[in-house]
Structure 1
Amino acid sequence: MNFVEDLPSQRYEQQLRAHPDGIPGVRRAVTALLTLWGREAITDTVNLCVTELLANVGAHASSPECVLTLHNHPDRLRASVRDTEPALPVVKQPDFLAENGRGMYLVSESVDKWGADPVPTGGKEVWFELRTGGASS
Protein backbone atom coordinates (compact mmCIF):
# COMPACT_ATOMS: atom_id res chain seq x y z
CA MET A 1 0.00 0.00 0.00
CA ASN A 2 1.34 3.42 -0.96
CA PHE A 3 0.32 5.83 1.79
CA VAL A 4 0.69 8.92 -0.45
CA GLU A 5 -1.84 7.50 -2.92
CA ASP A 6 -4.40 7.18 -0.11
CA LEU A 7 -4.23 10.86 0.85
CA PRO A 8 -6.72 13.36 -0.53
CA SER A 9 -5.35 16.25 -2.53
CA GLN A 10 -3.95 19.21 -0.62
CA ARG A 11 -4.26 22.85 -1.71
CA TYR A 12 -2.38 26.07 -1.05
CA GLU A 13 -3.33 29.51 -2.34
CA GLN A 14 -1.51 32.82 -1.98
CA GLN A 15 -2.56 36.24 -3.24
CA LEU A 16 0.48 38.29 -4.16
CA ARG A 17 1.97 41.00 -6.33
CA ALA A 18 4.29 39.76 -9.05
CA HIS A 19 7.42 41.80 -8.44
CA PRO A 20 11.06 40.70 -8.69
CA ASP A 21 11.70 41.65 -5.04
CA GLY A 22 9.03 39.18 -3.89
CA ILE A 23 10.22 36.16 -5.88
CA PRO A 24 12.73 34.86 -3.28
CA GLY A 25 9.99 34.80 -0.63
CA VAL A 26 7.64 32.93 -2.96
CA ARG A 27 10.39 30.39 -3.69
CA ARG A 28 10.97 29.87 0.04
CA ALA A 29 7.24 29.34 0.61
CA VAL A 30 6.99 26.88 -2.31
CA THR A 31 10.07 24.99 -1.09
CA ALA A 32 8.69 24.74 2.46
CA LEU A 33 5.31 23.58 1.21
CA LEU A 34 6.75 20.94 -1.13
CA THR A 35 8.97 19.69 1.70
CA LEU A 36 5.93 19.43 3.98
CA TRP A 37 4.12 17.48 1.25
CA GLY A 38 7.10 15.15 0.66
CA ARG A 39 7.70 16.50 -2.86
CA GLU A 40 11.31 17.65 -2.44
CA ALA A 41 12.38 15.93 -5.68
CA ILE A 42 10.44 18.42 -7.82
CA THR A 43 11.25 21.60 -5.87
CA ASP A 44 13.73 23.04 -8.38
CA THR A 45 11.42 22.50 -11.35
CA VAL A 46 8.37 23.90 -9.55
CA ASN A 47 10.32 26.97 -8.40
CA LEU A 48 11.66 27.59 -11.92
CA CYS A 49 8.21 27.36 -13.47
CA VAL A 50 6.42 29.40 -10.79
CA THR A 51 9.10 32.08 -11.18
CA GLU A 52 8.55 32.16 -14.94
CA LEU A 53 4.76 32.44 -14.58
CA LEU A 54 5.13 35.27 -12.06
CA ALA A 55 7.66 37.02 -14.31
CA ASN A 56 5.10 36.89 -17.12
CA VAL A 57 2.52 38.58 -14.88
CA GLY A 58 5.01 41.31 -14.07
CA ALA A 59 5.99 41.78 -17.72
CA HIS A 60 2.66 41.40 -19.52
CA ALA A 61 -0.30 41.97 -17.19
CA SER A 62 -1.81 45.39 -16.59
CA SER A 63 -1.75 44.70 -12.83
CA PRO A 64 0.83 42.78 -10.77
CA GLU A 65 -1.96 41.34 -8.60
CA CYS A 66 -2.21 37.57 -9.00
CA VAL A 67 -3.01 34.35 -7.19
CA LEU A 68 -0.62 31.41 -6.91
CA THR A 69 -2.26 28.05 -6.27
CA LEU A 70 -0.61 24.68 -5.65
CA HIS A 71 -2.57 21.42 -5.64
CA ASN A 72 -0.82 18.32 -4.32
CA HIS A 73 -2.62 15.31 -5.78
CA PRO A 74 -1.54 11.74 -5.05
CA ASP A 75 -0.06 11.31 -8.55
CA ARG A 76 0.88 14.87 -9.55
CA LEU A 77 1.42 18.44 -8.48
CA ARG A 78 -0.50 21.20 -10.26
CA ALA A 79 0.52 24.83 -9.93
CA SER A 80 -1.25 27.83 -11.39
CA VAL A 81 -1.03 31.59 -11.50
CA ARG A 82 -4.22 33.56 -12.10
CA ASP A 83 -4.04 37.21 -13.18
CA THR A 84 -6.24 39.91 -14.69
CA GLU A 85 -4.70 39.95 -18.18
CA PRO A 86 -6.91 38.20 -20.77
CA ALA A 87 -4.14 37.57 -23.35
CA LEU A 88 -2.97 33.95 -23.22
CA PRO A 89 0.77 33.19 -23.20
CA VAL A 90 2.49 31.95 -26.33
CA VAL A 91 5.42 29.56 -26.48
CA LYS A 92 8.05 30.85 -28.89
CA GLN A 93 11.09 29.09 -30.24
CA PRO A 94 13.82 30.70 -28.16
CA ASP A 95 16.17 33.23 -29.66
CA PHE A 96 19.27 32.50 -27.64
CA LEU A 97 20.68 35.96 -28.34
CA ALA A 98 17.59 37.74 -26.97
CA GLU A 99 17.46 38.89 -23.36
CA ASN A 100 13.88 37.68 -22.85
CA GLY A 101 11.15 35.56 -24.43
CA ARG A 102 12.22 32.12 -23.21
CA GLY A 103 10.00 31.78 -20.13
CA MET A 104 7.08 29.79 -21.50
CA TYR A 105 9.46 27.69 -23.60
CA LEU A 106 11.30 26.74 -20.39
CA VAL A 107 8.01 25.92 -18.68
CA SER A 108 6.76 23.83 -21.62
CA GLU A 109 10.01 21.84 -21.73
CA SER A 110 10.21 21.31 -17.94
CA VAL A 111 6.75 19.98 -17.09
CA ASP A 112 4.54 17.05 -18.05
CA LYS A 113 1.56 19.22 -19.00
CA TRP A 114 0.72 22.91 -19.11
CA GLY A 115 -1.99 25.21 -20.37
CA ALA A 116 -3.74 28.53 -20.05
CA ASP A 117 -7.46 29.03 -19.56
CA PRO A 118 -9.54 32.21 -19.67
CA VAL A 119 -11.19 33.02 -16.35
CA PRO A 120 -14.94 33.81 -16.65
CA THR A 121 -14.60 36.92 -14.48
CA GLY A 122 -11.72 38.21 -16.63
CA GLY A 123 -8.08 37.38 -16.92
CA LYS A 124 -6.54 33.96 -17.23
CA GLU A 125 -5.09 31.07 -15.29
CA VAL A 126 -1.79 29.62 -16.50
CA TRP A 127 -1.04 26.21 -15.03
CA PHE A 128 1.39 23.31 -15.18
CA GLU A 129 1.50 19.76 -13.86
CA LEU A 130 4.33 17.46 -12.84
CA ARG A 131 3.77 13.76 -12.29
CA THR A 132 5.06 12.68 -8.91
CA GLY A 133 5.17 8.92 -9.24
CA GLY A 134 1.87 8.06 -7.54
CA ALA A 135 -1.03 6.39 -9.29
CA SER A 136 -1.10 6.95 -13.03
CA SER A 137 -3.39 9.68 -14.30
Structure 2
Amino acid sequence: MAEAGTTQYRQELVVRPLVLGGVRRIVKAYVRLWGFAPLAETAALCVHELLTNVPRHTDSPQCELTLDRHPDRVRVTVSDSSRTLPAVREPDWVNESGRGLVLLDQMTDAWGADPNPDGGKDVWFEMRATPHREAA
Protein backbone atom coordinates (compact mmCIF):
# COMPACT_ATOMS: atom_id res chain seq x y z
CA MET A 1 0.00 0.00 0.00
CA ALA A 2 1.22 3.52 -0.77
CA GLU A 3 2.24 5.43 2.33
CA ALA A 4 0.87 8.92 2.96
CA GLY A 5 3.47 11.68 2.96
CA THR A 6 5.89 9.95 0.59
CA THR A 7 7.23 11.80 -2.40
CA GLN A 8 9.18 8.93 -3.93
CA TYR A 9 8.69 5.25 -4.59
CA ARG A 10 11.59 3.05 -5.71
CA GLN A 11 11.61 -0.65 -6.54
CA GLU A 12 14.15 -3.00 -8.07
CA LEU A 13 12.46 -5.35 -10.52
CA VAL A 14 13.07 -8.39 -12.64
CA VAL A 15 10.66 -7.78 -15.50
CA ARG A 16 8.48 -10.79 -16.16
CA PRO A 17 4.93 -10.85 -17.56
CA LEU A 18 3.39 -11.74 -14.19
CA VAL A 19 5.14 -8.80 -12.50
CA LEU A 20 3.68 -6.14 -14.79
CA GLY A 21 0.11 -6.21 -13.45
CA GLY A 22 1.30 -5.68 -9.89
CA VAL A 23 3.56 -2.83 -10.93
CA ARG A 24 0.69 -1.13 -12.76
CA ARG A 25 -1.41 -1.34 -9.58
CA ILE A 26 1.43 0.15 -7.51
CA VAL A 27 1.90 3.03 -9.98
CA LYS A 28 -1.83 3.81 -9.95
CA ALA A 29 -1.93 3.71 -6.15
CA TYR A 30 0.92 6.20 -5.76
CA VAL A 31 -0.31 8.54 -8.49
CA ARG A 32 -3.76 8.62 -6.86
CA LEU A 33 -2.31 9.02 -3.34
CA TRP A 34 -0.30 11.99 -4.55
CA GLY A 35 -3.46 13.69 -5.82
CA PHE A 36 -3.03 13.06 -9.54
CA ALA A 37 -5.87 10.56 -10.00
CA PRO A 38 -6.70 11.65 -13.59
CA LEU A 39 -3.16 10.61 -14.60
CA ALA A 40 -3.17 7.18 -12.94
CA GLU A 41 -4.28 4.96 -15.83
CA THR A 42 -2.05 6.71 -18.38
CA ALA A 43 0.95 6.65 -16.04
CA ALA A 44 0.46 2.91 -15.48
CA LEU A 45 0.24 2.27 -19.23
CA CYS A 46 3.41 4.29 -19.88
CA VAL A 47 5.28 2.42 -17.14
CA HIS A 48 4.14 -0.85 -18.70
CA GLU A 49 5.54 0.27 -22.07
CA LEU A 50 8.92 1.20 -20.55
CA LEU A 51 9.20 -2.00 -18.55
CA THR A 52 8.40 -4.26 -21.49
CA ASN A 53 11.35 -2.67 -23.33
CA VAL A 54 13.83 -3.72 -20.64
CA PRO A 55 14.10 -7.45 -21.48
CA ARG A 56 13.59 -6.79 -25.20
CA HIS A 57 16.37 -4.23 -25.60
CA THR A 58 18.89 -5.02 -22.86
CA ASP A 59 20.90 -8.05 -21.83
CA SER A 60 19.03 -8.33 -18.53
CA PRO A 61 15.43 -8.19 -17.29
CA GLN A 62 16.62 -6.32 -14.18
CA CYS A 63 15.82 -2.66 -13.72
CA GLU A 64 14.83 -0.08 -11.16
CA LEU A 65 11.55 1.83 -11.22
CA THR A 66 11.40 5.22 -9.52
CA LEU A 67 8.29 7.39 -9.12
CA ASP A 68 8.81 10.99 -7.97
CA ARG A 69 6.06 13.37 -6.89
CA HIS A 70 6.60 17.06 -7.62
CA PRO A 71 4.10 19.83 -6.83
CA ASP A 72 2.77 19.95 -10.40
CA ARG A 73 3.84 16.64 -11.95
CA VAL A 74 4.81 13.01 -11.58
CA ARG A 75 8.14 11.82 -12.96
CA VAL A 76 8.76 8.14 -13.65
CA THR A 77 12.20 6.69 -14.34
CA VAL A 78 13.17 3.19 -15.42
CA SER A 79 16.90 2.53 -15.02
CA ASP A 80 18.49 -0.45 -16.74
CA SER A 81 21.95 -1.82 -17.50
CA SER A 82 22.12 -1.02 -21.22
CA ARG A 83 24.08 1.97 -22.48
CA THR A 84 22.06 2.05 -25.70
CA LEU A 85 19.63 4.96 -25.66
CA PRO A 86 16.18 4.34 -27.14
CA ALA A 87 15.25 5.84 -30.48
CA VAL A 88 11.78 6.58 -31.79
CA ARG A 89 11.16 4.79 -35.03
CA GLU A 90 8.27 4.65 -37.45
CA PRO A 91 5.88 2.17 -35.86
CA ASP A 92 4.79 -0.97 -37.61
CA TRP A 93 1.09 -0.95 -36.73
CA VAL A 94 0.70 -4.58 -37.81
CA ASN A 95 3.23 -6.03 -35.33
CA GLU A 96 2.78 -6.13 -31.56
CA SER A 97 5.95 -4.18 -30.80
CA GLY A 98 7.62 -0.97 -31.90
CA ARG A 99 4.97 1.54 -30.79
CA GLY A 100 5.94 2.13 -27.15
CA LEU A 101 8.01 5.29 -27.56
CA VAL A 102 5.50 6.77 -30.00
CA LEU A 103 2.76 6.23 -27.41
CA LEU A 104 5.00 7.64 -24.67
CA ASP A 105 5.61 10.74 -26.77
CA GLN A 106 1.88 11.25 -27.33
CA MET A 107 0.67 10.47 -23.80
CA THR A 108 3.21 12.34 -21.66
CA ASP A 109 4.28 15.95 -21.31
CA ALA A 110 7.98 15.14 -21.64
CA TRP A 111 10.22 12.11 -21.88
CA GLY A 112 13.84 11.32 -22.50
CA ALA A 113 16.74 9.00 -21.88
CA ASP A 114 20.04 9.79 -20.20
CA PRO A 115 23.16 7.75 -19.53
CA ASN A 116 23.56 7.09 -15.81
CA PRO A 117 26.81 6.89 -13.83
CA ASP A 118 26.42 3.12 -13.28
CA GLY A 119 26.98 2.49 -16.99
CA GLY A 120 23.34 1.99 -17.91
CA LYS A 121 20.62 4.46 -18.77
CA ASP A 122 17.58 6.15 -17.28
CA VAL A 123 14.47 6.38 -19.44
CA TRP A 124 11.98 8.80 -17.92
CA PHE A 125 8.71 10.58 -18.52
CA GLU A 126 6.77 13.36 -16.84
CA MET A 127 3.06 13.98 -16.62
CA ARG A 128 1.79 17.33 -15.39
CA ALA A 129 -1.44 18.22 -13.64
CA THR A 130 -2.70 20.27 -10.77
CA PRO A 131 -2.94 17.84 -7.86
CA HIS A 132 -6.19 17.48 -5.98
CA ARG A 133 -7.27 15.22 -3.18
CA GLU A 134 -10.06 12.76 -3.76
CA ALA A 135 -12.86 12.70 -1.22
CA ALA A 136 -12.40 9.92 1.32
1:59-118 CA-to-partner distances (Å, cap 9, x unmatched) read 111111110001110011100100001111111121212221111111111101000000
Aligned counterpart, 2:45? 48
Amino acid at match of 1:133: T
Give the match for residue 118 of structure 2: 121
Deviation digits for residues 107-134 of structure 1 (CA, Å, limit 9, x no counterpart): 1111010000001221100000011126
Two-structure CA RMSD over aligned residues (Å): 1.5
CA distance in 2, matches of 1:96, 1:15: 32
What TM-score do the two structures reach when normalised by structure 1?
0.87
Structure 1: which 5+ residue stretches go unaligned? 1-7
Q: What one-letter code is carried by the residue in structure 2 that aligns with 1:27?
A: R
SS at 1:14's partner residue? strand
Establish whether residue 31 from structure 1 lines up as the match of residue 1 from structure 2: no
Three-state SS of the structure 1 residue aligned to 2:92 is coil
Structure 2: gaps (5+ residues):
132-136
8 Å contact from structure 1 (residues 88, 117) kept in 2: yes
Percent of aligned positions that are identical: 48
Following TM superposition, by how much is the alpha carbon of 1:30 offset from its aligned partner in structure 2, in angstroms? 0.9
> What is the number of residues matched between the two proteins?
127
The letter of the residue matching 1:98 is N
Distance 1:60 1:80 in 2: 16
CA contact (8 A) 1:9 1:74 kept: no
- Partner in structure 2 of residue 106 of structure 1: 103
Separation in 1, partners of 2:36, 2:130? 10
In structure 1, give the amino acid aligned to 2:114.
D
Tell me what 2:73 maps to.
Answer: 76
CA distance in 2, matches of 1:104, 1:58: 15
Kindly report structure 1 stretches of 4+ aligned residues shifted beyond 2 Å.
none
Aligned to 1:5: none
Q: Does the Cα contact within 8 Å between 2:85 and 2:114 map onto a contact in 1? A: yes
Answer yes or no: is the 8 Å Cα contact 1:9–1:73 preserved in 2: no
Matching residue of 1:17 = 14
- Tell me if 1:133 matches 2:104: no
**Residues in 1 aligned to 2:96 and 2:61: alpha-carbon distance in whole angstroms:** 21
